[in-house]
Structure 1
């Protein structure tokens, strides 16, 4: 507990037992209190008592999808222009797969950056989860450690999912966009799963190039915000807490930190592919855990 508390830096976490009785007798909120009472009764019965978490200013921490110790300040100094030049057949094949997928997306979304970002993040969160899952099962089969790569890839997947949670606070996809996400994710998940089974070096290279395209997309997004082509609205509250942004931050600040995240994912996956290309396994090299 003390170790976890030490990592919060900007937050104070206070744990106390939750009451299993409704705290208000107001009839207008009785239904809500009944629901809360049921939830707390279940947690109390099983001994899983959720902590009451507050910010440094004493206000309640309202995010269940992440905790204060998972918040961080993005490294926006990372080089967003880096590109892995495809040299080998494996690299060229991965590069052209990504290029073939890029143009239909650009044609469909054009300059609708937020719409594009929502679809992009539903796809970008898949590789880390698939890679982490397959490394996890491999570690179990072989009775060996993973060098931290399971955690690194799952960390990547969770970070991409938080990008999506941020954007859906701004824009809710229409039914046809949800149908498109359902179809694209179904195809991509299975295709990537098979690709990773067949060749991890190819799968990580594909992800590296996907992240390069993500960096380019967010750069265009940022440019349109900076030149006034899009309204620079206030940053969502979830983004301010997740990236430890100032309270007066705007969408431009959010796009900048998300772009930095994508650049980190780009480097990690190209690094992983290079390890495989040189005839090694990921476990032989320490994974960049906590690269945020």
Structure 2
């Protein structure tokens, strides 16, 4: 009996091709905050602030705000609270292992709802699953920075956090998908802050091991990074841009009618001009309002 053998390596980047960002687009990413406007927004924002405070407390995280001066000071790594390359990597791995949950859970709920109600989903499922895949690719990238990627304690922490968060988010999405999308929007804005601080540390000379290091091959393939634009610094800017886009997408989805509105990121548009897109051609980190995406039609 002859068995077929697969030729070549599996590509995790094949399912959803990543949009290409220019250096200018990535450098234009800034930290933005959407003000809470109602009780749903306040619930989402309070939950994110509580999670951030708890995680920082447990991990002993404390960022050196003086890094904004931009002065190279590798000796600062000797401070007990300083974020070294390994500490940043652990933080990235843990956060990305959780960040891939909301899109998958939201996509699953809407998928089941579409089956149950015998109707189309207006293009939401694909965007949510694509977001989850993107976060998983971030995780697979940062796993290449450590050997072994995670010890027993960290694996147990990820297992526990993922188990609790997945079930909690599932029930919350059933009750109020709008609040859940707003929660993810605020969560992603915190991720933008995290990667902005890591970039600042790297540019300030506090992460010397990463200064001349190339991004792993899996990242260069996924992000379509060019030679000379494939350093760890370039990688962090790519990931930050993704998080900023997730922030925009989820704030936008939270502004829509969850049952009847078309997903503007997977729709046909009339005319030209600024509109929600998957790339960074137009970025609105606080989200597009419902009246701004009214021209969108089903694809």
TM-score by length of 2: 0.73
Q: What CA distance in whole angstroms lies between the structure 2 residues aligned with 1:120 and 1:67?
A: 24
Segments of 4+ moved more than 3 angstroms: none
Match of residue 144 from structure 1: 119
Q: What whole-Å deviation, never above 9, does each CA across 1:237-269 have from its counterpart, x for those lacking one?
A: 111111111234211111100000000100111
Task: Give CA deviations for 1:211-237 in whole Å, capped at 9, x if unaligned.
Answer: 011111111111111111013222111
Corresponding residue for residue 10 of structure 1: none
The 1:78/1:142 distance shift into structure 2, 3 A limit, reads: farther
**1:87 aligned residue:** 37
Distance 1:228 1:184, change over 3 A: same
Alignment partner of 2:176 out of 199, 205, 208: 199
Counterpart CA distance in 2 for 1:151 and 1:114 is 29
Pick from 164, 184, 192 the counterpart of residue 215 of structure 1. Answer: 192
Asked if the contact 2:16/2:130 (under 8 Å) is kept, the reply is no
**2:30, 2:108 → 1: CA distance?**
28
- Paired residues for 1:1-292 under 5 Å: 38=3, 40=5, 62-67=9-14, 70-74=17-21, 76=26, 79-107=29-57, 108=59, 110=61, 111=83, 112-171=87-146, 172-231=149-208, 232=210, 233-248=213-228, 249-275=230-256, 280-281=257-258, 283-289=260-266, 291-292=278-279
Query: How far did residue 71 of structure 1 move?
Result: 4.2
Number of aligned pairs? 235
Q: Whose Rg is larger?
A: 1
Q: Against the structure 1 CA distance between its residues 245 and 68, is the aligned structure 2 distance closer, same or farther, given a 3 Å change threshold?
A: farther
Aligned-residue offset at 1:177: 0.8
Unaligned stretches of 5+ in structure 2? 62-82, 267-276, 280-299
Q: Distance in 2 between matches of 1:69 and 1:145?
A: 21
Preserved contact between residue 178 and residue 258 of structure 2 (Cα < 8 Å): no
Distance 1:204 1:182 in 2: 23
Aligned equivalents of 2:259 and 2:167: distance in 1? 22
Deviation track 1:101-123 (CA, whole Å, cap 9, x = no partner) reads 10222230522211111011011
Match of 1:6 in 2: none
Contact 1:202–1:273 at 8 Å: present in 2 too?
yes
The separation in 1 between residues aligned to 2:225 and 2:137, in whole angstroms, is: 15
Q: Aligned partners of 1:114, 1:230: CA distance in 2, in Å? A: 11
RMSD (CA atoms): 2.1
TM-score by length of 1: 0.75
